[in-house]
Amino acid sequence: MAAPLPKRIIKETERLQSEPVPGISAEPHEENARYFDVKVDGPSGSCYEGGEFQLELFLPDDYPMCPPRIRFLTKIYHPNIDRLGRICLDVLKNNWSPALQIRTILLSIQALLGAPNPEDPLNEAVAKQWKENQPEAIKTAREWTTLYAQKK
């Protein structure tokens, strides 16, 4: 039997449902309230526009002292996201603060889709393409979005 859910997690979950963030949804699993199914819409104006990206989010035992663990499940062509869907984002690592929340983190991820940063790459190959031939990279990102991130 798992330990009772901390008040913090209960409150965050409630708020995510009562005041959802536009373009973002996070549903906890019934059997494990620390595990969330996340959907993030590609920001409009970006090469991910029109896509719906699925992620998994897990709150470890020491959350919120440690950041949540998040990974893209949908295949995505992005210099800061690798093949396994892992994300390079400062607030998920060194700049994590226990005062941050699931909602703020998901917003940061959405913002990252709108502003890829090939200077701080996690996916070297994509970053290289992004720097050397940006139009081509953006085209590929669009294609992948159509191919893998269609709303179901």
Partner 1 sequence: MPAAFVGDEAAEPVTKTPPSTRKRKLVDSITTSATSQPPATIELPKRKASKTTTASVHDANADAEQAALPATPQTLSSDKPMDSDDDLNSVASSGMLGEAMDDSSVDFDAADSDDDGLEDFQDDESAFESQPKDLRPAKKAFEVDFNVYSPGDIQHQQDRQVEEVATLLEQPAEQTAILLRFMSWNKERLIEQYMDNQEEVLDKAGLGANMSSNPPRLEAIDGFTCDICCEDEPGLQSFAMNCGHRFCVDCYRQYLGQKIREEGEAARIKCPGDGCNKVMDAKSLDLLVTSDLTDRYHELLMRTYVDDKENLKWCPAPNCVYAVECGVKRRDLTRTVPTVNCDCKHAFCFGCTLADHQPCPCALVRKWLKKCEDDSETANWISANTKECPKCGSTIEKNGGCNHMTCRKCRHEFCWMCMGLWSEHGTSWYNCNRFEEKSGTDARDAQASSRKSLERYLHYYNRYANHEQSAKLDKDIFHKTEKKMQLLQSSSGMSWIEVQFLEAASQALQQCRQTLKWTYAFAYYLARNNQTEIFEDNQKDLEMAVENLSEMFEKNTDQLAGLKVDMMDKTSYCMRRRVILLDDTAQRLKEEGWTFNVDLK
C-beta of 68 vs 142, nearer to partner 1? 68
Instruction: For residue 148, give the nearest of 75, 44, 46 by alpha carbon.
Output: 75
List 5, 44, 66, 124, residue binding partner 1 (CB under 8 A): 66
**Interaction with partner 1 in 16-55: which residues (CB under 8 A)?**
none
C-beta of 58 vs 138, nearer to partner 1? 58
C-beta of 59 vs 142, nearer to partner 1? 59
Q: Counting every residue, how long is the chain?
A: 152
8 Å CB contact between 103 and 15: yes
Examine residue 115 and tell whether it contacts partner 1 (CB under 8 A).
Answer: no
66 is catalytic: no
Examine residue 133 and tell whether it contacts partner 1 (CB under 8 A).
Answer: no
Catalytic residue among 21, 33, 88, 91: 88
8 Å CB contact between 12 and 20: no
Examine residue 89 and tell whether it contacts partner 1 (CB under 8 A).
Answer: yes
Q: What residues act catalytically? A: 88
* Residues binding partner 1 (CB under 8 A): 6-8, 10-11, 62, 64-66, 69-71, 84, 86-90, 92-95, 97-100, 104, 120, 122
